[in-house]
Amino acid sequence: MTQKNLLEVDWSQIPAPLDDGDAAHLKGLTLPAISLLATDDTSVNLSALPGRTVVFAYPRTGEPGKISLVDDWDMIPGARGCTPQTCAFRDLFAELKAAGAAQVFGLSTQSNDYQTEMASRLHLPFPVLSDEKLALTRALRLPTMDVAGLTLIKRLALIIDDAEIAHVFYPVFPPDRNAGDVLDWLKANPARS
């Protein structure tokens, strides 16, 4: 199936993911010291970042006009919507920062080269981290799905305060509302000083 428009999605036609409990262990965990390559050519160790960090993870973004990973991608609960989720975080970036997010990152298991193209195409004001080697995914036991021989992170968002996971959004549906939900949570839960 060719992906014509990655942003226009009728969510009523897409199966919603269910809470399988695979993220229940995350709240309260301290992040391990793992460095990930970012689309701004830096190496980011989330455990070393002071203050409040927002990380939203997704399976993989597509490219307009390219063939999707598998023909039934849209019917895999939680698969469709990576670009709308990412663009929503882009569009609310200034508000997220104003609400206390010291930094915002996207995260997937796609390669840094692929993500760098996507970040440029979508004009992202924040870096996207590549966990292509699954180091952070495995260390935190993030929820994953296997599609076409690839291990992909299931869609979620983490609020991290000084290396400790303070809140987890999981499952996330519809994806384009995740940034707004995160913003509402940040406003209702100011970072401790």
For 62-78, b/e burial (b = at least 16 CB within 10 A) is beeeeebbeeebbebbb
Residue 82 designated active-site: yes
- Integer Cα distance of 39 and 41 in angstroms: 5
Q: In this structure, are strands 52-57 and 103-108 parallel, antiparallel, or unpaired?
A: parallel
Point out which residues pair with 151 in neighbouring strands: 146
* Candidate list 38, 54, 79, 82, residue with the active-site label: 82
Burial of 24 from C-beta contacts in 10 A (0-12 / 13-18 / 19+): exposed
Beta strands in 39-110 (DSSP E): 43-45, 52-57, 103-108
- Integer Cα distance of 134 and 117 in angstroms: 20
- Integer Cα distance of 101 and 59 in angstroms: 23
Tell me the residue type at 14. I
Known catalytic residues are 82
